[in-house]
A and B are shown apart, each in its own frame.
Chain A
Amino acid sequence: MKVTDKDVAYVADLANLELTPDESTRMVADLNSILSHIDKLNQLDTSNVEPLAEVVSAFASAERKGSDKFAYAQRPDVLVPGLSREAALSNAPDTDGTCFKVPKVIER
């Protein structure tokens, strides 16, 4: 067992998830079984291999350098209408009509 109850509690805290004791027990077992499959990756020597985060940059122009290379991802710097405030707030559980409202952040 690599992952313990304590690890799951720590990660759940990082992810802002609340787990019941039953859920936590299940997650410890599941994460261990998934990670033991994932450990297969250690069979490979990757010390000289570059990481690949996404594939789009592979389609970028090879002749261009720097940010120009990613010209395909740029748009003209002009204002275009975005989502209206009303639409943006329309699904919020609580607003004052202008802003999202949340519980008090700073306790006295």
Chain B
Amino acid sequence: MNINTMTVDEARSLVQSREITAHALAEAHYSQIESRDETIGSFLTLTKERALAQAQRIDRLAEKGDPLPPLAGVPVGIKDVLMTRGERTTAGSSFLEKFIAPYDATAVAKLEAAGAVCLGKLNCDEFAMGSSNENSAFHPVRNPRDTTRVPGGSSGGSAAAVAAGFAVATLGSDTGGSIRQPAAFCGVVGLLPTYGRVSRYGLIAFASSLDHVGPFARTVKDSATLLEVIAGRDPRDSTSADVPVANYASECGRDVKGLRIGIPEEYFGEGLDPEIRQAIERRIDALRKAGCEIVSVSLPHTEYAIPVYYIVATAEASANLARFDGVRYTTRSSQSKTLADMYRRSRDEGFGAEVKRRILLGTYALSAGYYDAYYLKAQQVRTLLTRDFQNAFTSVDAIVTPVTPTVAFKLGEKTNDPVAMYLNDIYTVTANLVGVPGISLPCGNNHEGLPIGIQILGKHFDEATVIRLAHAMEQDQL
């Protein structure tokens, strides 16, 4: 048994066959976390009591020889923007340092109902705002592949925990690339479900028209298994879609022959690291050899995606974060004598610099005199971006692109330049603006041994094709 490479299927069958108890498997992961997470910094809170109680429930089922649920005994971690009842849930913010979630997020409840053992809560950029995990109010996360480098963000802890052998799979959230980019930087698989595919009930909202919940895993099949568990309509999230959940894991191994793959020229232009370009082109060649039809497509408004994203996301964030006012959520400045004072001082003390920057930008874009020039304009260009994808998907089944323009950068390298940091999301934000599903999976290493990611984007609710292709690519790599 190798904990560092263990898959969901392996963990489950070891528990089912009683070669190891779920309890011992959880303990083995905790001892890895205790010995090595001081260096990585992926966990903010360990939920040991809850995890071991769940593990014992699974072990009792296994003793009886009953068939086990799909994630029985699988040790997982949860990004700290998802509510876990009775456990601390901070969103990486000092505003919520002492916040105890009063209920479970639907995605977390579904994982546990499927037998998963939630080991703890994972570090992230404050309120999921960031591309390097350096905006966590507590401590940064270091990339397990090279601890001088960032793991990506905002779900940096979720990616690092899977890469470091601390959890077999994790949950993250993706508003502009926050699952796919850290997956690429850490060399793991990150899946972005279609907007509405997975309930956001219990997700601390950043930008409601862009937020998605999705899994990190070591293999495409594992990410498919997790998606199957967490997907589906939830009456408590009116934006969750009533679309049947497919048997995603069964897509793994299906033939990709005849699939039409779009390659958008705009994603291979200036700024893309030549080693990443070569790695992706090799993979595209392999798809061609496997019988896929490679088609050149154009997504002409790509260069406008970052400006649109940083208006839409910050405008929505400025509204969503208004709820942090000193009344309900733990933090209230002791300095405040009047109500207005309380709002301002509590927010001043509770929020970090990037959160304030985004609230200011969003408020500016929505303010009288600027609404049409910025917010409305961004929404109109969002329509153009959506049309780009609709047009491309009339001739192809999926689109293949890089995930990031560079491999993982060094800690501190971009913290003083917000625009340089934002441009890191150039290949990922459009999927959120358009609402399509995507996956980021490992595509080899660069000359320094740092992981390179490749992205597959699909049609709305066609995660099946994305997974099928991703699995074929993954096999080709082995």
Contact = CB atoms under 8 A, between A and B. Distances in A.
B292 interface: no
Interface of A: 3, 7-8, 10-12, 14-19, 23, 26-27, 30-31, 33-35, 37-42, 44, 46, 49-56, 58-59, 72-75, 83, 87-88, 90-94, 100, 102-105, 107
A73 to B, nearest CB: 4
A97 to B, nearest CB: 15
Interface residues of B, number: 75
A44 B241 contact: no
B382 interface: yes
18 contacts: A17-B347, A17-B348, A18-B347, A38-B311, A46-B377, A46-B381, A49-B383, A51-B380, A55-B386, A75-B235, A87-B102, A90-B102, A91-B99, A92-B327, A100-B327, A102-B342, A103-B339, A103-B342
B268 interface: no
Interface in B378-396: 378-384, 386
Given A11-B363, A23-B356, A38-B374, A50 B338 contact: no
A7 B361 CA distance: 11
Interface string B240-263: 011100000000000000000000
B447 interface: no
Contacts of B367: 10-11, 14
A-B pairs, top 10 by smallest CB distance, nearest first, are A51-B379, A55-B435, A93-B332, A46-B380, A18-B348, A87-B102, A73-B238, A38-B307, A54-B209, A49-B380
Nearest to B386: A52
B377 A53 contact: no
A11 B374 CA distance: 15
A51 B367 CA distance: 18
Contacts, number: 173
B359 A17 contact: yes
A72 B241 contact: yes
B306 interface: yes
Most buried by A among B306, B336, B344: B344
A58 B380 CA distance: 15
Given A30-B357, A50-B380, 7 more contacts: A17-B344, A23-B353, A53-B379, A58-B386, A83-B103, A87-B102, A103-B339
B360 interface: yes
Contacts of B418: 30, 33-34
Contacts of B195: 55-56
Contacts of B311: 38
Interface in B35-89: none
Contacts of A37: 306-307, 310, 419, 422
Interface of B: 98-100, 102-103, 195-196, 208-209, 233, 235, 238-239, 241-243, 301, 303-304, 306-308, 310-311, 318, 322, 325-332, 336-345, 347-348, 351, 353, 356-357, 359-361, 363-364, 367, 374, 376-384, 386, 417-419, 422, 434-435, 460-461
Nearest to A54: B209
B378 A41 contact: yes
Nearest to A73: B238
A91 B102 contact: yes
A44 B338 CA distance: 46
A1 B313 CA distance: 23
B336 A103 contact: yes
B379 A83 contact: no
Contact of A19 (B243, B307, B356, B361): B356
Contacts of B332: 93-94
Given A33-B418, A91-B328, A103-B337, A15 B360 contact: yes
Contact of B330 (A26, A54, A93): A93
Given A41-B381, A91-B328, A93-B326, A34 B342 contact: no
A16 B419 contact: no
B364 A91 contact: no
B357 A7 contact: no
B137 to A, nearest CB: 16
B360 A17 contact: yes
Contacts of B363: 11, 14-15
A41 B102 contact: no
Nearest to A72: B242
B230 to A, nearest CB: 18
A46 B383 CA distance: 10
B103 A87 contact: yes
A11 B380 contact: no
A46 to B, nearest CB: 4
Given A30-B357, A34-B310, A83-B102, A51 B382 contact: yes
Contact of A8 (B331, B360, B435): B360
Nearest to B340: A16
A100 B339 CA distance: 13
B338 A104 contact: yes
